[in-house]
Every structure is written in C-alpha cells, then in structure tokens.
Amino acid sequence: MEETEGHVLAGIPMNALALNLTRSTIRMQHTQTWRIDKSNRVHDLVVCLTGSAQYDIEGETVSMVPGCAMLLNADTRFVGYSTSVEPYTGIAQHFTLDLFGRLDLMGQMQLKRAVALSRWDMLEKVVRHYRETAPPYSTTLQQHHVFMFLLTEFIEQAFVGWREQSVGNVANPDQLSLAIMVAASQIAADPLSEHIVQQVLDAAPYNLDYFKREFRRKVGWTPDKFQEFKRMERAMGLLAGGCTVKRAAALSGYGDAYYFSRMFKRYIGVSPQGYRDAERMSREGAFPRGEEDGQIVYPLARS
C-alpha cells in the first residue's frame, strides 16, 4: 500500500476553524546577549531564519537553528537565550486557533515541541516575506492566510496524535463536535486503511449508533461512505494526473477496476474515463456546456 495523501486537518471544515493573530508579528532580531524568561497567555509559533538559540521548556531543551519551527503553548513558562555570534532572527507569532468558536484546537493535539521544516528551501522564502511585510502594530488579512499555511506545515510534521477525550465530557456538545472532526480527520488521513473506520468508531466515547448518526449529520456522510469518498478524491487526482483507470483503482484501494468504476460514477456522477476526458478538456481550454467559467462541479448533472 502506498503512502496516503491525507492531512491532519483534512476532515475539518474550513468554517469550523477560527484563527486569530492576537498581536502583530514579532520580527526577531536578537544579539548574542539576548535572553528571555516568560510565558504567554496564547500560543506562539517561532521560526528561526538565522543564528541559533536554545529554549528550556518544562524540563525539555530545544535548539533552534535555521529552518526550525517551535510551538510555545499558551501558559507555558520558557527560558530562551541566543547561542550564536550571528544575530538570532526569525518570526514569533502569537495566535489562537479555535474549533467551533470555543474549543482550543491546539490543545486537543499531541505535538512535537519543535521540528525541522522539511520544505525549508521553499518555506524560507515564505517566512522571509511574512517577516518583511508584517506591519508593526496590526495584522492583515494576507498575514492570516500566510500564517495558516505556515501553521499547517508545522502541524503536519509535529503531529503525534489526538489527545484522548474524557468520558466525563461526552454530554458536552462541543466535545461531540470535536470527536466527530477528529474521527473525520483520521479517516481522511488514511483512507486506504481497511480498519480505519472501525478504529475511529471504537475510540469514540459514545454510543455507536448515536455517534454514526451525528457523524452523518455533521459531515454529510456516514463514516464508511466518507472513507469511500476520500478514496474517490484520491482517484480523481490520480486520473487527472494521467493514471489509467486500472492503476487509479489499485492506488485507491480497489482490486476490481469494474467495481471501482461503478462506485466512482455513483459518487462523482461520471465514469472514471469521462472524468479524465473532462479534465483534459479543461486543461486544453474547452469546457462542458454551461461550465465555460472552468469550474466543473461534481457530480455532473445527468442528461
């Protein structure tokens, strides 16, 4: 089985998240004598551009060098100091990320304290642009979008798992919503797994039928059908990239290309070959009648 293309936040609807940059970006420019000892009331993502520094956080030591990103969780005391002659520069952004307006999403995840960003050759340019364009006393819409991109990159690498939910909180509707979003994210991250749906259902501290019913109400699919739809999304990308129907079926978890084609048409509204043809027409500048703006909507209307 090949590596899946899911992401940690893939099952969470965009309108369920609320990002707030609580202050202007700190454009770090620290000399060799820099030292800090404090805690923040909100989360703080730090990314190093030049130089180096060391942080002591709750008994853990973190070394920051260019390309490293670190999350300082809210209400966590830390001591930081420069460890290089070269100025220690980068960004530090204070933020909150709430789910459904009330739940701290960062607090629901187990994350590594710091990571070396794997796509630093590209991300370095983004971080430098973010630093150079940050206004001194405010935040902007562009900053919110760019920071969410940087934060997502950090989460994808730092993610260890979702924190276990307390059975004592199951009556809280916010906890139910969180449990559903966690389950959807886990399915979306590994849609090729034969056991992923059963695993997420077993982990949910709710009555099985009740949880499946609420999952469908919140997500729009039952857990099983949501997994199948995520497989179809994978197949769409493979077909658009030039894969044959048989190859796309195999890479999407289907050993029977005929069965895959039937399910693809049921979910997407067009056969796999028809989807390939429509994508090719789009790339060549031709669109189905009524879709001249280039936005092909699936499932396609049936004639």
Give the pLDDT band of residue 261 (cuts 50, 70, 90): very high
pLDDT for position 302 = 40
Using CA atoms, how far residue 133 sits from 10, 67, 171, 272, in Å, is 29, 19, 45, 45
Summarised one tens digit per residue, pLDDT across range 38-57 is 999 999 999 999 999 999 99
User: Stretch 86-115: mean pLDDT, rounded?
Assistant: 90
pLDDT for position 102 = 66
Summarised one tens digit per residue, pLDDT across range 207-222 is 999 999 998 888 888 9
Contact indicator for 268, 302 with CB cutoff of 8 Å: no
- The three-point CA angle 10-14-15 to 5° equals 150
User: Stretch 77-85: mean pLDDT, rounded?
Assistant: 97
Residue 124 confidence (pLDDT) above 50: yes
Using CA atoms, how far residue 130 sits from 15, 55, 294, in Å, is 24, 23, 32
Contact indicator for 157, 170 with CB cutoff of 8 Å: no
Longest dimension (CA), the chain: 72
Q: What's the CATH superfamily of 14-162?
A: Regulatory protein AraC (2.60.120.280)
Summarised one tens digit per residue, pLDDT across range 268-296 is 888 999 888 887 776 665 555 445 454 55
pLDDT for position 279 = 79
Summarised one tens digit per residue, pLDDT across range 12-46 is 766 778 899 999 999 999 999 999 999 999 999 99
Share of the chain above pLDDT 90, in %: 55
pLDDT for position 245 = 93
State the CATH class of domain 221-303.
Answer: mainly alpha
CB atoms within 10 A of CB 103: 18
Question: Can you give the residue ranges of every domain in the chain?
Answer: 14-162, 167-220, 221-303
Contact indicator for 33, 83 with CB cutoff of 8 Å: no
Same fold for the domain at 14-162 and the one at 221-303?
A: no
Residue 67 confidence (pLDDT) above 60: yes
